[in-house]
């Protein structure tokens, strides 16, 4: 079966010669596979007549058409389709009472669509996108199954579903007031304060929603969901904007909730997903085209399958490479040449102070930066980037720096292609830039999009690519994994590693995803202190020293998975945790 996908935002019929139509073999034979009703309208693709020759995508100058091959048997399991030549979802996830089930997969493959269907806000059409919403049809389709009973319960109102959206940054646009007053709409004042205390943001009670951080907005959304008395909780991306300590706090709260309620989560932090969920559905397919929800797997087996890129039970290859980890903290030889050396420095900002201990970064080295929020990590990056004035002189020699800040936005009045051309010029034609940076991050798919219209994940990918494409000695990347799904996080880690190794550069990367930091780092820079008041840098040091310093302060231990060597969080007060704490090895077992 061939799926013809038309991206209507990219289609510009006034600007093209309709070559996608005239070069198509069936059209040339008189078969109307692609039709333009008039010069100003977008094409209409006949999916039934499409033979999947692949010519029309190549002829379209704007990359608006994709032809996707899908196994024929999936057509019998289609759950929802948004329109002609539009995204479709195959199969549905299963929920288990008193259990936490997770959805794991790339963005744009239908995870949020599945949650909307499970919440009852979206009624599946089973491919008949022109028909009106029909709940009776849904009940008939799933009659006699667990999902049939589930839908009957929520459609009849016998069970209440609470849906926590992933779009927390849009909250200030749809609601006004202080965080406390917003939450009091869902519960009494004492209960609100109890939940805020549990989530460790009671101090934000009187803050106006228009002026709070992303982390506070995330906690606001989670608190609002927890305050509602539901039977089923659907939690879409809970870790964005939160540091590792806050992510674990939320994971423990959701784990407790899962003992008495039915819970489904969508999460891209694999360490947190592993810690929180019992069972996982892997979602695979083609972003923006179709998504398939795999059978349920135990969380350990699901993550291992996801990392390997191969689903053995379905005999499906979801990625053309395997993501692997090392049993040691770093196997890469260390250069003796320093790219950057800095001296002791004290930075004083209104209400916050940062003490920077002297340190250095060597050529070909990536330093991962870890620490709780509000300890000065971004301040340190701005200091290195020259945005904060140095009293002692930062560097011994002039260093070219390329910097991606924590919060990325752009008001550039043009397309991604225009901005890249303006920023890096002829380097756009550099074979290395194209093959090792732009292609792995799928930047070519964004070239004709306006920069101001990019989604959070698209803007993050584009900003990373732009930062790494510049000619620099030191690349500073502040939270590159934010807004990225698990697959793109791993791709981003590989891209950063290749740029640093192949071009003999250096990099400092701040991130809260332990998998991400573990994959790319040669050494660690750890931040300690009192959040919002003072911070201090330690290192860069060996991975084992840095990680032990960081995790000891958080009272968290990690172990290695026996099969994949990936990091796994130990259960609190478990035998392995007690053993590691006693030995002083909170993560790596080498000195």
Residue among 529, 507, 508 nearest 355 (CA): 529
Average pLDDT score, the chain? 86
Nearest-angstrom CA–CA distance, 197 and 435: 49
Q: Say if residue 33's pLDDT is above 70.
A: no
Q: Say if residue 255's pLDDT is above 90.
A: yes
Query: Residue 396: helix, strand or coil by DSSP?
Result: coil
Nearest-angstrom CA–CA distance, 461 and 479: 12
Nearest-angstrom CA–CA distance, 84 and 320: 29
Do β-strands 506-510 and 366-370 pair in parallel, antiparallel, or remain unpaired?
Answer: parallel
Which three-class secondary structure string do you get for 326-388?
CCCCCCCCCCCCEEEEECCEEEEECCEEEEECCEEEECCCEEEEECCCCCCHHHHHHHHHCCC
- Averaged pLDDT for residues 51-61: 73
Residue 418 tokens read as: 């225009």
The percent of residues in the chain predicted with pLDDT above 90, rounded, is: 53
26-37: buried (b, 16+ CB within 10 Å) or exposed (e) per residue? bbeeeeebbeee
pLDDT at 351: 87
Digit-coded pLDDT (tens) for 378-418? 999 999 988 887 766 555 557 899 999 987 777 888 999 99
pLDDT at 19: 67
For residues 211 and 249, is the Cβ–Cβ distance under 8 A? no
**Residues, the chain, total?**
591
* Between 445 and 24, residue with greater pLDDT: 445
The percent of residues in the chain predicted with pLDDT above 70, rounded, is: 88
Q: Say if residue 85's pLDDT is above 80.
A: no
Digit-coded pLDDT (tens) for 125-165? 998 999 898 999 999 999 999 999 999 999 999 999 999 99
- Averaged pLDDT for residues 37-42: 64
Q: Say if residue 55's pLDDT is above 90.
A: no
Q: How many CB atoms lie within 10 A of CB 114?
A: 26
* Between 566 and 254, residue with greater pLDDT: 254
Q: Is 581 exposed, middle or buried (0-12, 13-18, 19+ CB in 10 A)?
A: middle
Categorize the per-residue pLDDT at 266 as very low, low, confident or very high, splitting at 50, 70 and 90. Answer: very high
Residue among 157, 126, 121 nearest 141 (CA): 126
Nearest-angstrom CA–CA distance, 552 and 591: 16
Distance separating the N- and C-terminal Cα atoms of the chain: 55
pLDDT at 182: 94
pLDDT at 32: 58
For residues 557 and 533, is the Cβ–Cβ distance under 8 A? no
Nearest-angstrom CA–CA distance, 339 and 584: 32
Q: Say if residue 31's pLDDT is above 60.
A: no
Nearest-angstrom CA–CA distance, 438 and 517: 22
483 Cβ neighbours under 8 A, 6+ residues apart: 240, 455, 456, 457, 459, 460
Q: Is 259 exposed, middle or buried (0-12, 13-18, 19+ CB in 10 A)?
A: exposed
Query: Residue 18: helix, strand or coil by DSSP?
Result: coil
- Averaged pLDDT for residues 58-81: 69
Nearest-angstrom CA–CA distance, 45 and 42: 10
Categorize the per-residue pLDDT at 442 as very low, low, confident or very high, splitting at 50, 70 and 90. Answer: very high
Residue 263 tokens read as: 């819970």
Q: Say if residue 257's pLDDT is above 90.
A: yes
Nearest-angstrom CA–CA distance, 531 and 451: 34
pLDDT at 365: 93
Residue among 249, 256, 254 nearest 265 (CA): 254
What is this structure's pTM?
0.80
Nearest-angstrom CA–CA distance, 67 and 452: 27
Nearest-angstrom CA–CA distance, 329 and 292: 36
Q: Which range, 38-42, 325-329, 385-389, 429-433, has the best average confidence (pLDDT)? A: 429-433
Do β-strands 78-81 and 88-90 pair in parallel, antiparallel, or remain unpaired?
Answer: antiparallel
Residue 281 tokens read as: 């559905």
Q: Which residue has the tokens 């006699």?
A: 144
201-234: buried (b, 16+ CB within 10 Å) or exposed (e) per residue? beebbebebeebebbbbbbbbbbbbbbeebebbb
For residues 149 and 97, is the Cβ–Cβ distance under 8 A? no
pLDDT at 71: 46
Residue among 493, 511, 523, 512 nearest 330 (CA): 523
Nearest-angstrom CA–CA distance, 585 and 579: 9
Digit-coded pLDDT (tens) for 283-336? 998 888 889 999 999 999 999 999 988 888 887 888 878 888 776 544 556 667
Residue among 543, 546, 527 nearest 535 (CA): 527
Residue 125 tokens read as: 């059409």
Q: Which residue has the tokens 């709780």?
A: 372
Q: Say if residue 175's pLDDT is above 70.
A: yes
Q: How many CB atoms lie within 10 A of CB 349?
A: 10
- Averaged pLDDT for residues 556-582: 88
Nearest-angstrom CA–CA distance, 398 and 591: 35
Q: Considering only 218-227, 407-416, 526-535, which range has the smallest mean pLDDT?
A: 407-416
Phi, psi of 277 (to 5 degrees): -90, 155
* Between 83 and 250, residue with greater pLDDT: 250
pLDDT at 334: 66
pLDDT at 473: 94
Domains of the chain: 2-69 (3.30.70.20), 171-229 (no CATH), 340-541 (3.40.50.300), 555-591 (no CATH)
């Amino acid at each position: 079966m061939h799926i013809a996908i038309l991206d209507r935002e990219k289609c510009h019929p006034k600007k093209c010669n309709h070559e996608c139509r005239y070069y198509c073999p069936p059209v040339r034979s008189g078969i109307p596979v692609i039709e333009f009703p008039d010069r100003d309208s977008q094409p209409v693709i006949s999916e039934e007549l499409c033979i999947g020759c692949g010519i029309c995508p190549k002829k379209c100058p704007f990359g608006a058409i994709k032809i996707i091959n899908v196994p024929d048997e999936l057509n019998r399991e289609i759950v929802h389709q948004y329109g002609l030549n539009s995204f479709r979802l195959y199969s549905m996830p299963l929920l288990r009472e008193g259990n936490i089930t997770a959805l794991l997969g790339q963005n744009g493959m239908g995870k949020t669509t599945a949650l909307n269907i499970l919440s009852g806000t979206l009624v599946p059409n089973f491919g008949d996108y022109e028909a009106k919403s029909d709940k009776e049809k849904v009940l008939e389709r799933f009659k006699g199954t667990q999902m049939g009973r589930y839908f009957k319960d929520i459609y009849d109102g016998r069970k209440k579903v609470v849906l926590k959206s992933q779009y927390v940054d849009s909250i200030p646009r749809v609601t006004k007031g202080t965080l406390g007053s917003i939450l009091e709409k869902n519960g009494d004042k004492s209960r609100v304060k109890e939940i805020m205390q549990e989530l460790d943001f009671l101090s934000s009670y009187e803050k106006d929603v228009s002026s709070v951080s992303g982390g506070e907005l995330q906690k606001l959304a989670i608190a609002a969901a927890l305050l509602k008395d539901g039977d089923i909780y659907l939690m879409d991306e809970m870790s964005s904007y939160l540091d590792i300590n806050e992510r674990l706090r939320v994971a423990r709260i959701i784990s407790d909730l899962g003992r008495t309620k039915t819970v489904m989560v969508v999460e891209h932090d694999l360490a947190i997903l592993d810690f929180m969920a019992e069972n996982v559905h892997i979602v695979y397919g083609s972003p923006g085209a179709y998504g398939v929800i795999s059978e349920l797997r135990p969380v350990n087996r699901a993550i291992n399958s996801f990392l390997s890129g191969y689903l053995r039970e379905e005999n499906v290859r979801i990625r053309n490479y395997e993501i692997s980890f090392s049993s040691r903290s770093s196997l890469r030889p260390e250069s003796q040449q320093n790219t950057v050396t800095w001296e002791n420095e004290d930075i004083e900002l209104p209400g916050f102070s940062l003490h920077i201990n002297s340190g250095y970064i060597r050529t070909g080295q990536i330093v991962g930066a870890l620490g709780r929020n509000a300890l000065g990590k971004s301040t340190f990056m701005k200091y290195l980037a020259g945005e904060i004035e140095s009293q002692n002189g930062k560097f011994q020699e002039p260093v070219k720096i390329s910097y991606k800040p924590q919060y990325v936005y752009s008001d550039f009045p043009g397309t991604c292609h225009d901005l890249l051309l303006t920023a890096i010029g002829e380097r756009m034609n550099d074979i290395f830039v194209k093959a090792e940076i732009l292609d792995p991050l799928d930047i070519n798919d964004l070239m004709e999009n306006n920069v101001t219209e990019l989604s959070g994940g698209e803007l993050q990918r584009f900003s990373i690519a732009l930062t790494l494409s510049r000619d620099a000695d030191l690349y500073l990347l502040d939270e590159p994994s934010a807004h990225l799904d698990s697959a793109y996080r791993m791709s981003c880690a590989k891209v950063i590693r290749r740029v640093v190794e192949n071009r003999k550069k250096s990099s400092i990367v701040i991130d809260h995803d332990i998998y991400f930091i573990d994959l790319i780092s040669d050494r660690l820079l750890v931040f300690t202190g009192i959040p919002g008041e003072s911070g201090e840098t330690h290192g860069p040091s060996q991975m084992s020293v840095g990680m032990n310093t960081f995790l000891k302060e958080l009272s968290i231990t990690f172990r290695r998975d026996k099969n994949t060597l990936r990091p796994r969080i130990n259960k609190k007060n478990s035998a392995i945790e007690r053993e590691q704490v006693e030995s002083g090895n909170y993560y790596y077992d080498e000195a």
